[in-house]
Amino acid sequence: MSFPEGVDRDSMMKQAQNIWTMLDEMAENDHGAYRKFIDKHMKEGKEYMKPAEPHMCVMTMITSTKRKYFINFCSWNKVPDPKTPEEAIPVIGTQVLQDKDENGDFSYSGVAFSPKILEEFGIDCINLSDRSSLINLAIDYIHNQHKITLSRSFSILPSTTRVKGNLQVLQKALQGKHQNSDEEFDGQLSDLEKTFGLQGSGAKDSLMNKLANLSTEDNTQEKHAPNIQIPGLGKEQPKKQNLIEEVSSTNQRQSSEVKTPTYSLEEKYKEENLEELILTIKLQGVNKVSECELDISEDDIELAVDNRYHLNVSFPYLIDDSNASAKFNKSNSSLVISLPVQT
């Protein structure tokens, strides 16, 4: 049994003793309630002890080296929800890891959020702007933790590929971040379990994990959560039009009337070779391509629609900008740009 760093052992032992005293009295006076209590916490303890599960994987790149970088979003019961919509979203992240596949070397890491956060803002989120905000928050977190600047241009891998890299290594890395082993404390709890009697045998881990979760919630949030928020997190809160505003060193702050359009960047393969990137930009209210100003280079693209939209996207690969082409779809006001990748 182990607990996050910074937990007062004496305080936790005192709480453990109080719990065992309460259960001892319950076992003597109301055996049915005692059995129900134990069963309930055994079940909850098993859920709590499950490792982080892959939810979605996002591909971007390290801007300084153009190296591929995969962010593995994981759902984990050990990450608490924010107490209010205004509070920072707790997140636990791994170190930067390295791996390779048939396309070459790449870097990757894991970020774990509570199941509720990923249910509302993850891969199945209806509002693409909400999902993009969560992904950008993860990019901010990685930058703050590891001093790595990642491109804001990203693509979400298909749901059939929810993890990139070694899942077991990611799970162990997350577990190592969350817990600091303490054999002496675990031994003391085992002694308590023995003195409590055989009826409570096996309940130690589940009950104490729940106790750790409740007693260290504030400690976990403070240690692992950067100052990241999604306003309007609670469903009872009114929806805000702009969830997050970013100001980077390369982009000046836009006026409140100019919006960043929703977009996606997908890879198109011919057989097993990457052929081109397809950038799709949603431009609600735009009726023709002549309203758009495009500036395409081999590593990024800038789009501007006078007083309405502005977008700058960095490419994860060098593209053949001389052969790029754009097509505007009037039926859904979307601009589709084909970007051949340099060979």
pLDDT one-digit tens code per residue, 218-252: 444 434 444 445 444 444 443 333 332 323 333 33
pLDDT given for residue 243 in this prediction: 32
For residue 3, pLDDT beyond 80: no
Would you say the pTM of this structure is higher than 0.75?
Answer: no
Express the helix, strand and coil content of the chain in percent, nearest 5 each. Answer: 35, 25, 40
- CA gyration radius for the chain? 25
Specify the pairing of strand 155-156 against strand 53-62.
antiparallel
pLDDT one-digit tens code per residue, 323-341: 988 888 888 888 999 999 9
Q: Are 161 and 218 in the same domain? A: yes
pLDDT given for residue 259 in this prediction: 86
Asked whether residue 194 is domain-assigned, the answer is yes
Asked whether residue 313 is domain-assigned, the answer is yes
pLDDT one-digit tens code per residue, 275-328: 999 999 999 888 887 888 888 988 889 888 888 888 888 888 889 988 988 888
Q: What values do phi and psi take at 162, rounded to 5?
A: -90, -5
- Which one of 246, 274, 300 terminates a domain? 246
> How many distinct structural domains can be found in the chain?
2
pLDDT one-digit tens code per residue, 122-179: 998 888 878 888 998 899 999 989 999 999 888 899 888 999 999 999 998 988 765 5
Q: Are 227 and 319 in the same domain? A: no
Query: Using CB atoms within 10 A of its CB, is residue 64 exposed (0-12), middle (13-18) or buried (19+)?
Result: exposed
pLDDT given for residue 43 in this prediction: 59
- The answer to whether residues 88 and 229 touch, using CB atoms and an 8 Å cutoff, is yes
Q: Are 267 and 170 in the same domain? A: no
Instruction: Give the start-end residues of each E strand in the chain.
Output: 2-3, 53-62, 67-75, 92-93, 97-101, 104-113, 155-156, 180-181, 263-270, 273-282, 292-296, 300-305, 309-314, 325-329, 334-340
- For the domain that residue 301 is a member of, what is the CATH number? 2.60.40.790
How many Cα atoms within 13 Å fall on the side-chain side of residue 338? 10
pLDDT one-digit tens code per residue, 55-79: 999 999 999 999 999 999 999 988 8
pLDDT one-digit tens code per residue, 7-35: 566 666 676 677 777 777 776 777 677 67
Q: Residue 211 — very low, low, confident or very high, per pLDDT cuts 50/70/90?
A: very low
Strand partners, 340: 276
Instruction: Give the start-end residues of each E strand in 120-196.
Output: 155-156, 180-181
Task: From 171, 152, 65, select the one nearest 110 (Cα to Cα).
Answer: 171
At 92, is the secondary structure helix, strand, or coil? Answer: strand
Range of the domain at 121: 1-246
Q: Are 212 and 336 in the same domain? A: no
